[in-house]
Amino acid sequence: MKVQESMPSSKVERSAKFIKTGVQIGGNYIKHYSKKLFNPNLSKDQLNEDNATDIYASLSQLKGSALKIAQMLSMDKNIMPTAYIDKFTQSQYNAPPLSGPLIVRSFTKSFGKTPQALFDSFNLNATNAASIGQVHQAILDGKKLAIKIQYPGVGDSISSDLKLVKPFAFRILGMNEKDLNVYIKEVEERLLEEIDYKLEVKRSIEISTACKHLDDVVFPKYYPELSSDKIITMDWMDGLHLKEFLQTNPAQKLRNKIGQSLWDFYHFQQHVLRKVHADPHPGNFLITKNGQLAVIDFGCIKEIPDDFYQPFFSLIKPGFMENKEATIDSFRQLELILPTDNKKQEAFYYSAYKEMISLFSLPYASETFDFSGNDFFEDLYAWGEKITKMPEFKQPRGVKHFIYMNRTNFGLYTILNELKAVVNTENYCPA
């Protein structure tokens, strides 16, 4: 893979990169509409492909919050053209890595020593590069280690990057500014947590220890003494990412086993720990040769307060929404129905959100659920598409915790769908 010899770190450099990409996109539109003059039926497929290529090339060089948005958008398969999904999915697994000299410089800044001085061996070629950092392999005392190194300047550019990325998001998503600001705010809050590698090590140890009893879920050991605010050292975990795993055409029994491990991992956290790994994209997991699920990244953890947990999860209990009064009370607590709503509005939002949550909670309605069926997901996406065209949903509703929790649960559903897994949904669910 081609390495990146430098990374734009100042606001001026990063702004210039965005401007250059904006000019390229403008050129793509001119080219598209010029062709459309001679072919009125011309689709936007090539335009989307050209724009996706140019935007991803820019974001992958900028890394940090800019690339993180691509990573997050690639999980929302119902809001973007396929060309963007296909291109942005690369950010879940591999982005162009930084060169060796830049990595040595980062290491020396953190420890006062080069990586070669700290480890018996250190591979300067990255094995994996994503949005916030890249991973290198090292050996110490005969043990194989994974060293995650944060890109320089990532933390300093979060707010400015998010302002610069807005025009691209406007064009791709068609969101109004207020909706987009809610989304951008979510990304900013997550990134501020993800760039704190000392916090990540602390959380990784806490949650992996709490979850070690789960069947077929494994975690690396972390080494705080060899970690810093920009570097994390952990055991090396051998395995395949989901995309690679699926290419081996695994048996249905193994798919179900991995799917069950994912389900149990997420629901134990949500319902027992009341905090959850809130970044369920496939790049954060490996499937080992023993058919176990390895969780290798705890960059973003969402704590679930009681005043959200109780009304939110009461709604997914079978039969709960048959009680209209109790359902409306939960909707009020979650700010899906507001004190300023009149009777007509209250009836509208009660009906709309009941429909949505009934769809979302379908996996909980029986002891097992087959995530391979596309009907379930098509119904969810159709509902989402329907409300985007309704004026009543032009302004977002719901308490802030929805942003994290919806992303976590829909992300989990999406991975289970890709696995085509059948899981026991009663494990670790609220009584």
CB 84 within 8 A of CB 104: no
Q: Which of 150, 189, 187 lies closest to 166, judged by CA?
A: 187
**Alpha-carbon distance values, 109 to 106, 112, 115, 227 (Å):** 5, 6, 11, 12
Where are the domains positioned within the chain?
A: 11-93+162-174, 99-150+196-236, 238-431
CA gap 285, 428 in Å, rounded: 20
Instruction: Write out pLDDT tens, residues 325-379.
Output: 999 999 999 999 999 999 999 999 999 999 989 988 999 888 999 999 888 888 8
Q: Mention every residue, 6+ apart, whose C-beta is less than 8 A from residue 25.
A: 51, 54, 55, 168, 171
CA gap 116, 146 in Å, rounded: 14
pLDDT value at residue 272: 93
Q: Which of 231, 233, 238, 242 lies closest to 205, judged by CA?
A: 233
Top pLDDT among 273 and 170 is at 273
pLDDT value at residue 17: 52
Phi, psi of 425 (to 5 degrees): -85, 0
Residue 224 pLDDT grade (very low, low, confident, very high; cuts 50, 70, 90):
very high
Q: Tokens 């390495």 appear where? A: 3
**Alpha-carbon distance values, 351 to 43, 81, 347, 348, 357 (Å):** 37, 30, 6, 5, 10
Instruction: Write out pLDDT tens, residues 116-138.
Output: 999 999 998 888 876 677 889 99
> What's the pTM?
0.75
Q: Mention every residue, 6+ apart, whose C-beta is less than 8 A from residue 165.
A: 18, 59, 65, 66, 69, 184
DSSP-derived pairing of the beta strands 275-277 and 217-218: unpaired
**CATH for 99-150+196-236?**
3.30.200
Q: What is the mean pLDDT of residues 97-102?
A: 72
pLDDT value at residue 62: 52
Instruction: Write out pLDDT tens, residues 11-52.
Output: 555 555 544 555 454 555 455 455 555 565 655 666 566 655
DSSP-derived pairing of the beta strands 133-140 and 143-150: antiparallel
Instruction: Write out pLDDT tens, residues 182-215.
Output: 666 766 777 777 888 999 999 999 999 999 999 9
CA 328 and chain centroid, separation: 31
Q: Which of 325, 389, 315 lies closest to 358, judged by CA?
A: 315
pLDDT value at residue 102: 79
Q: Mention every residue, 6+ apart, whose C-beta is less than 8 A from residue 338.
A: 397
pLDDT value at residue 286: 95
DSSP-derived pairing of the beta strands 285-287 and 301-303: unpaired
